[in-house]
Structure 1
Amino acid sequence: MLPNIRLLFFLLMIPGILFAQQKELSQKKTYTATRIDRKPVIDGVLDDAVWDNIPLATNFVMYEPGDGNPSRNTHTTKVQIAYTDEAIYLAAYLYDEEPSNIRREFAQRDNLPTADYFFFDLNTYNDGENQTRFYVTAAGTLADAKMKRENEDFAFNVVWEARVSMDEQGWYVEMEIPYSALRFPNSKEQLWSMQLGRHISFLNETYVWNYINKSLGASTHYNGLLKGVRDIDAPVRLSFYPYVSGEVNYYKEETTTAFNAGMDFKYGIDDAFTLDATLIPDFGQTAYDEVELNLGPFEQTFGENRAFFTEGTELFTKGDLFYSRRIGDTPIGFNQAQDARLENEDIVENPETTNLLNALKISGRTENGLGIGFFNAITEKQKARYYNKLTGESRELVTEPLANYNIFVLDQQFDQKSSVSLINTNVTREGHFRDGNVTGFLFDVYNANSSFNFFGEAKMSRVNYPTSNKTGFASKLGFSRTKGKFRYGVSHDFANKTYDINDLGLNFINNYNNFLWETSYRIFEPRGVFNRYNISLFGDHQRRYDPDVAVTTSFGFSFFGMTRDRFAFGGSAGYSTPFKDFFEPRRDNSFIEYPENASAEVWISSDYRRRIALDSRLGYNKYLGTDHGKLNFSFSPRFRVSNKFMLIYSFEYRAENDRESFVTLLPKNVIFGTRDMRSIENSLQGSYNFNNREALSLSFRNFWSSADFARNDFSRLLNNGSLVAYNYEVNKENDPNANFNIWNLDLSYQWRFAPGSELILLYRNSIFKIDKLSELNYTESLDNLFSQPARHNLSLRIVYYLDYNTIKNTI
């Protein structure tokens, strides 16, 4: 029955795709770049002779908060574009009759403060989908990002240069973007698309060169055309990033040292395709993970902090099949190693992470819009080591064999806004271990005038065990209206009970058959006190696929608004019918039924242009007819002490009362208990920017959480999802209570001493404690934490950027 419904749904979509009205989104502007024989000096002072006779891109129009209004006469913007065989160059004249109002807050690379800025969007394939954005602030901070419609990925980093200057008429930008930072078709004459923009912080206004119709499609569909770039004899795209690092650790009165050296490199296979590789990687200075007390049925997930796995990975994230933290993750046999300990044995060593030996990725896009990507990584074998105290014998157990991770992607883009993709991921482990293979087909299609978006996925997983195999399937199908103030969308998500992508991807749940819908109303021009607002209604109906069981139905609404004074606020409210949780019991085909619940949340965010600003959020969730409730409150003031010094403090409090929670599995019963939980998190982020290339940064976090189960209030789970009292005896070994406290402090000095090159000196201080003392309050737990030995780490890392062409010209 279900496949027939999908086929009917898809057939109904076809007329909208094939017969939608053919018309242009807007009248695209065109600019013709000028070839120059001599590059300008990149100093921000636009007095080079090369700029004298180059045409101007002018007549900017408002993007926010208005809709296409001409730019103010007091804030005219003009841009010139030129090119050589090595790079493309921009000169931007950002006039301001009151230059004292130009915001010039300092920040480091890829951090955009509340400052005036200029941006240049470049799409070298003119496909309406993938483009690169280059930012320069009035203080000279650089930022670059890969864009996918409205989303910006600042993990993308390339080597380019820009400088700014300022006088009584405004401020100016001079940019050099080498072709080594770009990928483009191998053709005699390039046809690129571009957007130019300017943000004026004092006025809270943004202007763009080519008009963007915010009520239709996505902003990346509205680039103008950049012509004239032809006969480029592009240089060899080969660059090296060698590094050296050293560290000193002090823990429990023991000092250890380590030294590492290695290299990343990039090679342009041709104008469009690039090879990135990391040899002997070093991730010693990556940011700490925000670890919490996790009593739920699912693993805690963390963001990716390793640059190699975030830069240039947009092709590999298609279909959400790539969770990069799987590479170098905890060995798959880590927990089994604990259970494999024999009598009289001690575990001498059981590694919690897997070492990455090397990794590479090849990606690019052909002239016809076909994106091709290949990713490979190899991790080292890991072993647990045991020592028998009675016999003196030692033995080893392999917990993670040598493993090979691969991704292959084909992504065909068409009509400057649509795409179909095919992706395969596979993990092969040496010997008789688990292997995984997943293949996904995806489409993301707009109709001709971008008023509707149709999307879908079909994904097949296969897991090979030493003695058996498991094949699974998942799909997604939906459409949304992407035009006008009133919008809506529906979708269907499906997965059978054997769908599993966790070798290289991440899925917590399977065996679902869910239906989702949403509708919203928004404004695109200021109205009354609002610059913009958005009101949304949404809902879903969740079911199990096998057996076909209703899980829950929920609906709610949300509101977002921003005033003309840049004060933002909003909130949401929702209601859910009784919820059958099939995962909290940790036993197949068992569920606990939680009662219906209602939730509400409100938040505010004040104007970041002011020296003191505030973000705050308050939410409450109540399970009706019970004492079970959840409260969360956060408070985060930010202090701009000066244009160079910023402090952000954050406090969060969470409390949950009388939750029926999993305790343990017995041979015939699943035991639950009534749990109260409290969490407090304090964090501080600070930065002092000596300039845009040197900064001192502080990052601190303390997280405490306590889980307290009521004594003599345990129960066992019945087949119908209800609970009945059970006499469960608690002792020192099986006590479910927990008190968790962690402290992390990072203090770093960063110096970008040359393009692409940097030095980082980092001091780290960390303490961790988990025990059963749930009766301790926050301050008592903190005292208990400080009784533990602290781990101190001091490390120095130097990376130097080497360009092949520079080396060749120097020799």
Structure 2
Amino acid sequence: MYFQKLIFALFLLIFYNFQAQNRAFENTPKKFYTATRIQEAPKIDGILEDNVWKNKPVASNFVMVEPGDGTQIPETHKTNIKLLYTDEAIYIAAYLHENEPEKIVKRFTQRDNIEVNDFFLIDINTYNDGENQTRFIVTSAGAIADGKSIGNSEDYSYNVVWDAAVSQDEKGWYAEIKIPYAALRFPDKEEQLWGIQFARQITHLNETYSWNYIDKSVGKISQHAGLLKGLKNIDPPVRLSLYPYASVSTDYFKKTSETRFSAGMDLKYGINDAFTLDATLIPDFGQAAFDEVELNLGPFEQTFGENRAFFTEGTELFTKGDLFYSRRVGSTPTGFNEAQKDVLENEEIIENPQKTDLLNALKISGRTENSLGIGFFNAITRETHAKYRDTITGEIREKVTEPLSNYNILVLDQQFNKNSSISLINTNVTREDNFRDGNVTGFLFDLYNKSNSFNISGQAKMSNVNKKPESLTGFASTLSFNRTKGNFRYGVTHDFANETYDINDLGVNFTNNYSNFFWMTSYQIFEPTGGFNTFNLQVYGNHQRRYKPDVPVRTGVGTSLFAITSNRFAFGGFTDINSRYKDFFEPRKDGRFVEYNSDILGEVWVSSDYREKFAYDVRVGYKSLFGTNEERVKLKLKPRFRFNNKFNMIYSFNYTNHINRNSFVSIEDEDIIFGNRDMESIENSLQAYYNFNTKQALSLSFRNFWSTASFSDNGFKSLNEDGSLISTTYDNSGDNDPNVNFNIWNLDLSYRWQFAPGSEAILLYRNSIFNQDTLSALSYSESLDYLFARPARHNLSLRIVYYIDYNNVMNIFKT
């Protein structure tokens, strides 16, 4: 019945939106600029003295975006933009005046790292759909950044090849930019009409200005772009780019070394004017950043961010509905844990890989002129084996822990009215032999009324897991209604999942079997008020229930604050109060729960002005359960120091102490054992960067995470059916000892050189050590002694990637 009501409401809203006579912003005037065709391209050197720039139309009259709303840019910072085009590319010149040029913030960074800098920004929407923009940024130091901007979201993992240069004099600074058509996707028609926006950040004034006015109180930023006209008879080029790579690495561990050489290639191919094929052949992710591993004693797996470029770049379509967790591809084999246990008498396990090898992967994505987005993703992983050796005969036995597996995603995303969309997504994992398969289908909608004042969004998702011969089908849904205009806003949400909903073959869901309700109301400002540039106060609440059986789980209310003053000092925090909590996951057994007392928790934080040489972030958190001795204290310190415009360093210290928590220990026959646990952790990390220029940098990344879990010898309890705990005896000696001392150390030192557009060389030294034992009584310094007694793994690698553009190669042959 719930699903039928949801579908009925959905079709009513779609009918209303399509029947609306006026679309959002249709009557709002937009600035437009008419581009000029030229025959001879300017030299991209940042010095705007080429004849082609003289006497060309100017885009000017910028207005404030932050912190104010629409104030005209002062004459002292007059900003003029010119745009030209040839058969190959568009060219942009930016004249960024500054009456105090010595105050221009000009720090050297590498690609996609804007940091705290003056910068010039261009958003180009080649289909003028109000949603999808390609973003190009150049800083006052000459660093570039590019990404995808969809609505109000930004994704700087997207990279294309383009060129920019800057210069500076007593009148200000200047940017000269070349964006080849190969870096864009646009319709094949005689005359283009693109959405375009220019913006400028003046850091020392803490002000941002845009060419076309942006009304922050309504709609999405992408809907406020101006128009670019005059692009005629430009032919989309053959968009074929090759990225061949070669890498060599030497690994030293336990007095043995191994050298590996690999080579492969990534490629991008424009199938037509709208769609692009990305493929990685014989991929090598040996230089991906290390994962921030922690001691995990909870009921859920630890998840990590994606560090592999192929799985972060241009994946906005595939993340629809949160059904794609890319770390599943090439993750731990499904039979890894079973293989650890499947050791026969007189046998030892000699090999059990924790990751599967990726053979190849490809993705096809794009959007048609009618705003239909289509995405297709496919990846194949190699068969993986565990190996056992008979200690008497020496015979080797193998067991398949992950068969040859295929991962597949198909997405259809129809946008309309320049503010709304409906989407269909399917994910599928097929494994050979008798391993489990998974299939998930999701239907999503995100609808705004014509004035962008209200939004209704929702998802309906169906999962099917084939465990051979058992097959389980599950369902989950979300329905939200929100006020999206003005200073006062509010919203309500309902989340539902039945007890068999499971997307963990290619996605990740920690919980199912719930029916939860959420509400919020907020007040925020869009212009400086009372010394604040930003102020957002929220009050919210939730009521969580179990679906089967229908029982209350928890009810809570809270409030949060986020504020930034006029001098860029930021602060905020939150406070939550929750009722008693029935935790159905900590017992690790279906249908059982442990009940925790009601609690109060909160955090406060402050962040100073990053424009200063020294800046800091501080966060303090506290949690207490009423009527118990359970407490949790958290502290995070993150100071940063900029030595000069080339060298900066960021240190982070995290401390957590959670005491007297009743935590799962073991299941003995039918008895679920809990223990009274103290858990303390310290994390130290350091990041340092020395930028020789915007193309070469030396960087250091270090992290040490230590954690101990200590269970009280007389604090063991047995879980009752009603969720309460009763004291019991438990033999915690030998293999039953639940105490843990966990320590991990990672250090990366790298030199990166972008020696040509799209091409780079990376030399990386990596050092790592790991130790885990039951010596939970050790202090932090004592645990470090044990850690350094373990063998360290040393790795040195060199990777070179070279960018080849098909069009340039053909031009060479023609010449």
SS at match of 1:497: coil
CA deviation map 1:687-722 (0-9, x unaligned) = 000000000000000000000000021011111111
Say which of 573, 576, 579 aligns to 1:574: 576
- 1:126 is the counterpart of 2:128: yes
Q: Is the 8 A contact 1:262 1:280 kept in 2?
A: yes
Match of 1:778 in 2: 780
SS at match of 1:335: helix
Match of 1:556 in 2: 558
Q: Is the 8 A contact 1:534 1:561 kept in 2?
A: yes
Q: Is the 8 A contact 1:68 1:211 kept in 2?
A: yes
CA deviation map 1:140-177 (0-9, x unaligned) = 01011111222211111111110001111000001111
Change (3 A) 1:414 1:662: same
SS at match of 2:688: strand
> In structure 1, what is the Cα distance between the partners aligned to 2:10 and 2:362?
38
Match of 2:539 in 1: 537
Match of 1:690 in 2: 692
CA displacement at 1:21 relative to structure 2: 7.1
Q: Pairwise mapping of residues 58-457 of structure 1 onto structure 2 (< 5 A)?
A: 58-457=60-459
CA displacement at 1:7 relative to structure 2: 5.7
Match of 2:678 in 1: 676
Query: Which letter does structure 2 place at the counterpart of 1:45?
Result: I
> In structure 2, what is the Cα distance between the partners aligned to 1:12 and 1:81?
44
Q: Is the 8 A contact 2:637 2:652 kept in 1?
A: yes
Q: Pairwise mapping of residues 603-642 of structure 1 onto structure 2 (< 5 A)?
A: 603-642=605-644
Tell me, which stretches of 5 or more residues in structure 1 are unaligned?
none
Q: Is the 8 A contact 1:21 1:449 kept in 2?
A: no
> In structure 2, what is the Cα distance between the partners aligned to 1:23 and 1:161?
35
CA displacement at 1:19 relative to structure 2: 5.9
Q: Is the 8 A contact 1:596 1:624 kept in 2?
A: yes
CA displacement at 1:10 relative to structure 2: 4.9
Match of 2:2 in 1: 2
Query: Which letter does structure 1 place at the counterpart of 2:39?
Result: D
Q: Choose 226-235 or 557-566, whichever is displaced more.
A: 226-235
> In structure 1, what is the Cα distance between the partners aligned to 2:191 and 2:47?
31
CA displacement at 1:38 relative to structure 2: 1.5
Q: Choose 499-508 or 16-25, whichever is displaced more.
A: 16-25
Q: Pairwise mapping of residues 577-616 of structure 1 onto structure 2 (< 5 A)?
A: 577-616=579-618
Change (3 A) 1:537 1:375: same
Q: Is the 8 A contact 2:634 2:655 kept in 1?
A: yes
> In structure 2, what is the Cα distance between the partners aligned to 1:579 and 1:15?
42
> In structure 2, what is the Cα distance between the partners aligned to 1:722 and 1:658?
16
> In structure 1, what is the Cα distance between the partners aligned to 2:617 and 2:418?
38
Change (3 A) 1:695 1:318: same
CA deviation map 1:119-151 (0-9, x unaligned) = 000111111111111110000010111112222
> In structure 2, what is the Cα distance between the partners aligned to 1:123 and 1:628?
53
CA deviation map 1:499-537 (0-9, x unaligned) = 111111111111111111111001111112111211001
CA deviation map 1:715-773 (0-9, x unaligned) = 11111111011111111111000000011000000000000000000001111000000
Match of 2:754 in 1: 752
CA deviation map 1:384-414 (0-9, x unaligned) = 1111112332211100000011111111111
> In structure 2, what is the Cα distance between the partners aligned to 1:721 and 1:516?
25
> In structure 2, what is the Cα distance between the partners aligned to 1:660 and 1:21?
59
CA deviation map 1:537-562 (0-9, x unaligned) = 11111111111111101110001111
Match of 2:765 in 1: 763
> In structure 2, what is the Cα distance between the partners aligned to 1:160 and 1:321?
33
CA deviation map 1:550-575 (0-9, x unaligned) = 11011100011111110000111011
> In structure 2, what is the Cα distance between the partners aligned to 1:792 and 1:625?
50
Q: Is the 8 A contact 2:444 2:459 kept in 1?
A: yes
Q: Is the 8 A contact 1:640 1:647 kept in 2?
A: yes
Query: Which letter does structure 2 place at the counterpart of 1:651?
Result: F
Q: Is the 8 A contact 2:186 2:236 kept in 1?
A: no
> In structure 2, what is the Cα distance between the partners aligned to 1:596 and 1:524?
37
Q: Is the 8 A contact 1:129 1:418 kept in 2?
A: no
SS at match of 2:781: helix
> In structure 1, what is the Cα distance between the partners aligned to 2:147 and 2:181?
16
CA displacement at 1:447 relative to structure 2: 0.8
> In structure 2, what is the Cα distance between the partners aligned to 1:639 and 1:219?
33
CA deviation map 1:426-469 (0-9, x unaligned) = 01111111111111111111110111111111111111112111
Query: Which letter does structure 2 place at the counterpart of 1:567?
Result: F
SS at match of 1:747: strand
> In structure 1, what is the Cα distance between the partners aligned to 2:319 and 2:20?
31
SS at match of 1:404: strand
SS at match of 1:313: coil
Query: Which letter does structure 1 place at the counterpart of 2:540?
Result: F
Q: Is the 8 A contact 2:702 2:748 kept in 1?
A: yes
> In structure 1, what is the Cα distance between the partners aligned to 2:247 and 2:40?
39
Query: Which letter does structure 1 place at the counterpart of 2:357?
Result: N
> In structure 2, what is the Cα distance between the partners aligned to 1:558 and 1:127?
34
Q: Is the 8 A contact 2:240 2:267 kept in 1?
A: yes
> In structure 1, what is the Cα distance between the partners aligned to 2:672 and 2:36?
74
CA displacement at 1:6 relative to structure 2: 3.6
> In structure 2, what is the Cα distance between the partners aligned to 1:11 and 1:492?
19
Change (3 A) 1:378 1:11: closer
Q: Is the 8 A contact 1:261 1:280 kept in 2?
A: yes
SS at match of 1:711: coil
Tell me, which stretches of 5 or more residues in structure 2 are unaligned?
none
CA displacement at 1:270 relative to structure 2: 1.1
> In structure 2, what is the Cα distance between the partners aligned to 1:136 and 1:10?
42
SS at match of 1:782: helix
Match of 1:703 in 2: 705
> In structure 1, what is the Cα distance between the partners aligned to 2:24 and 2:120?
31
> In structure 1, what is the Cα distance between the partners aligned to 2:14 and 2:445?
13
Q: TM-score, normalised by structure 1?
A: 0.99
CA deviation map 1:354-377 (0-9, x unaligned) = 000001111111111111111110
Q: Is the 8 A contact 2:476 2:497 kept in 1?
A: yes
SS at match of 1:74: helix
Say which of 725, 734, 737 aligns to 1:735: 737
CA deviation map 1:89-138 (0-9, x unaligned) = 11000000110010001100001121100000011111111111111000
Q: TM-score, normalised by structure 2?
A: 0.98
- 1:24 is the counterpart of 2:25: yes
CA deviation map 1:573-610 (0-9, x unaligned) = 01111111100000000000111000121100000000
Q: Is the 8 A contact 2:274 2:367 kept in 1?
A: yes
SS at match of 1:133: strand
> In structure 1, what is the Cα distance between the partners aligned to 2:21 and 2:392?
80
> In structure 1, what is the Cα distance between the partners aligned to 2:343 and 2:171?
75
SS at match of 1:85: coil
SS at match of 1:534: strand
Q: Is the 8 A contact 2:23 2:417 kept in 1?
A: no
Query: Which letter does structure 1 place at the counterpart of 2:358?
Result: L
CA deviation map 1:185-241 (0-9, x unaligned) = 222221110110000000000000000111111111101111111211232111100
Query: Which letter does structure 2 place at the counterpart of 1:83?
Result: Y
Query: Which letter does structure 2 place at the counterpart of 1:475?
Result: S
> In structure 1, what is the Cα distance between the partners aligned to 2:40 and 2:681?
61
